Chains A and B, each alone.
Chain A
Amino acid sequence: METVISTKNLFRTYNPDTIPVHAVNDVSITFGRGEFTAIVGPSGSGKTTLLNLIGGLDTPTSGSVEVNGTDVSHLKANKLIDFRLHNIGFVFQSYNLIPVLTAFENTGFIMLLQKASKEEREKRVMDLLEQVGLGDKAGSRPRELSGGQQQRVAVARALASRPQFVLADEPTANLDSVAASNLLDIMEKLNREEHVTFLFSTHDQRVIDRAYRVVTLEDGKVIRDENKRNG
């Protein structure tokens, strides 16, 4: 499988001068195109920190992160923003959407920043909203949507920019189990049918069970890496 992300001896240390916390402690790992992978581990194990490093939101203390051959950890700040814009889709745990924009506008937001044409944008946004089952909610503001619906809009937005992969940090943490499994269904379908690469963190066992590969962190170290599906 083609490698999309690879980290080498990645460290992220907080408070290096007082009581150092190695939030990410010597992680060397690769992720391939088309993966549907869960990063798991108890709270504080370093999931968010690892995803932020991969997504170019945080700078490693040492080691490197390569995305599609580009060393993200050494990009200049404004280059990095541009890199994120064109290569990485983000879904956060909460506060994903801009409250004053509709589902349609939120989904198209990144494409707008990318300066996509209006026709292309409208077509793709409607397409994606259909795919996440919200074709009829295009005109709704976030507060008119349920938590699960909001996360589905966030997934649609993450895909709108045609990123290399989607990083989702605990996307189901604030959802009830029905909404969570619904969101996973959609992500899995997008992975299967559109070959979208998903990397998501979670500590919810039901979500872990849906992943094809499970990477387990403890105290910032990878302690287990299991492939649950061959292929």
Chain B
Amino acid sequence: MLIKLAWRNIWRHRVRSGVLFAAIAIGVWAGVFTMAFYYGMSMQRLKTAIEKEISDLQVHHADFKKDYDLQFHIPEGDTLLDFLASQQGVKAVAGRTVSRAMISAARGSAGIMANGVFPEAEDRVTGLSKKLDTGAYFSTSRRNEILISTKTAHKLKLKQGSKAVLTLITQDGHLTSGAFRVAGLFKTTNGPYDELNVFVRQPDLNRLTGMGKGVNEIAVLLESHDDPDSVLAAVRQALPDLQVEAWSEIAPELNLLYEMTDFSSYIFIAIILLGLSFGIVNTMLMSVLERTRELGMIMALGMNKVRVFFMILLETLFLVFSGVPFGLLLAFITVEYTGRFGIDLSMFSDAISGFGYDAYIYPALQGYHYLAVIIMVATAAVLSSLFPARKALMLNPAESIRG
């Protein structure tokens, strides 16, 4: 009965309720869509980082990260690679030699990270061949081929076929250098990554470093990125002397992004709801004040304060939640649509690639996001009903009826 009464009461002013209804629907839509945009963008960044750059897990010599000194490498690389590849949940494994180096050409030089890779394994783990913009992916049997990014090529005025020299410090501390021929140029959505990395074959690099057959970094790509912990634990137990890290430890800034994404979206939605709350409070307050006589009358008849409070609370909830499904539905449709076809941000692509983001954003949301929004809206509705309900409860029936 209270439910029926509350429901009918909110439709007494169709226009007024309709305006609030629309405001809530639009507010929810905007909030949810923004959340989806941001979540999609972050998850894309995370996926790109894991699948194209850092992988789920990395294995190093326990001291390697101290100063990237080449003497701290993993000598028995091959057997370790086989062991890792055989682990449950592992999709692909690649060993590499990474070394700080200087790349020099006739027109300049730059500090970079030289990655000595095994082309096939590397391609399975980070999809390196697909990053190529021009040229070929280690296709010839020639020695000393190098892949550099289009950015680096531009900076050093290099092009496919040009010669460049890599200079680095060997594992026993001598300066050495070798000449490489640019076999291809790569380009990713992550500008800093492009500027930092060059790729050569691992044996070519190891001839310079003097590391023999060793590698100093093993990247492990997992079947699923959701739960690296079980694989991590197994690998850690099997390799107690090595440093085994998950992506969240390798790139703490990505982990922060991952953890902050939802949190900042919720704050954004809370701000929208705060704005909407003023509208809700205002509408309910008007509705209470214009019903002074009626509310006084039903209180005189014997409707107690708890019931009056619940009636106002229900009215607020009905008012708010008649707009919410539309907002959510609208958001769901837009998220699904843009999530499939993407939003083209290529006109800003230089700016966003500086942060490692793709030019196409695919908004995405999980079920729990929708649930969280519903809970937040309900909370806002309950809080917004308190003030109008208090006003109603403070009415003196005798005075109200006199008018």
Contacts and interface: CB of A to CB of B under 8 A. Distances in A.
Contact of B297 (A48, A92, A113): A92
A21 interface: no
Contacts of A112: 1
Interface stretch (A33-41, A96-104, A200-208, A211-219): A96-104
B8 A57 contact: no
Contacts of B397: 57
A100 B401 contact: no
Interface in B242-290: none
Contacts of B294: 95, 98-99
B302 interface: yes
B307 A96 contact: no
A210 interface: no
Contacts of A100: 5, 8-9, 12
A216 B297 CA distance: 26
B401 A95 contact: yes
Interface string A56-76: 011000000000000000000
Nearest to B304: A81
Given A82-B302, A86-B302, A112-B1, A95 B398 contact: no
How would you classify the secondary structure of chain B's contact residues: helix, strand, loop or mixed?
helix
Contact of B12 (A55, A99, A113): A99
B402 A84 contact: no
Contacts of A165: none
Contacts of B307: 113
A84 B301 CA distance: 7
A52 B299 CA distance: 13
B402 A109 contact: no
Contacts of B304: 78, 81-82, 85
A101 B8 contact: yes
Contact of A52 (B5, B298, B305, B398): B398
Q: Indicate the member of A58, A96, A100, A101 with the most B CB atoms within 10 Å.
A: A100
B300 interface: yes
Nearest to B298: A98
Interface in A146-203: 157, 161
A58 B9 contact: no
A125 to B, nearest CB: 13
A78 B1 CA distance: 21
Contact of B301 (A48, A52, A101, A110): A110
A113 B301 CA distance: 10
A186 B397 CA distance: 27
A31 interface: no
B62 interface: no
Contacts of A90: 300-301
Contacts of A57: 300, 397-398, 401
B302 A98 contact: no
Interface in B279-324: 293-294, 297-305, 307
A70 to B, nearest CB: 15
B31 to A, nearest CB: 32
A105 B5 CA distance: 10
A44 to B, nearest CB: 12
Contacts of A52: 398
Contacts of A48: 402
A85 B301 contact: yes
A110 B298 CA distance: 9
Contacts of A99: 12, 294
A22 B89 CA distance: 89
A113 B293 contact: no
A92 B398 contact: no
A160 to B, nearest CB: 10
A112 B402 CA distance: 26
Contacts of B403: 95
B279 to A, nearest CB: 23
Q: Indicate the member of A96, A113, A157 with the most B CB atoms within 10 Å.
A: A113
Contact of B5 (A82, A85, A98): A98
A20 to B, nearest CB: 19
Contacts of B398: 52, 57-58
Given A57-B397, A96-B297, A113 B5 contact: no
B182 to A, nearest CB: 80
Contacts of A82: 302, 304
Interface in B122-146: none
A165 B298 CA distance: 18
Given A78-B304, A84-B301, A92 B5 contact: no
Nearest to A58: B398
A164 B385 CA distance: 36
Contacts of B297: 92, 95-96, 98
B302 A110 contact: yes
A142 to B, nearest CB: 11
A57 B298 CA distance: 12
A54 to B, nearest CB: 12
Nearest to A55: B300
A84 B1 contact: no
A81 B12 contact: no
Interface of B: 1, 4-5, 8-9, 12, 293-294, 297-305, 307, 397-398, 401-403
Interface of A: 48, 52, 55, 57-58, 78, 81-82, 84-86, 90, 92, 95-96, 98-101, 105, 109-110, 112-113, 157, 161
11 contacts: A81-B302, A81-B304, A82-B302, A84-B300, A85-B301, A95-B294, A95-B403, A96-B297, A100-B9, A109-B298, A157-B301
Given A78-B304, A82-B302, A92-B300, 14 more contacts: A55-B300, A57-B398, A84-B301, A85-B302, A85-B303, A90-B301, A92-B401, A95-B293, A96-B297, A98-B297, A105-B1, A112-B1, A113-B302, A113-B303
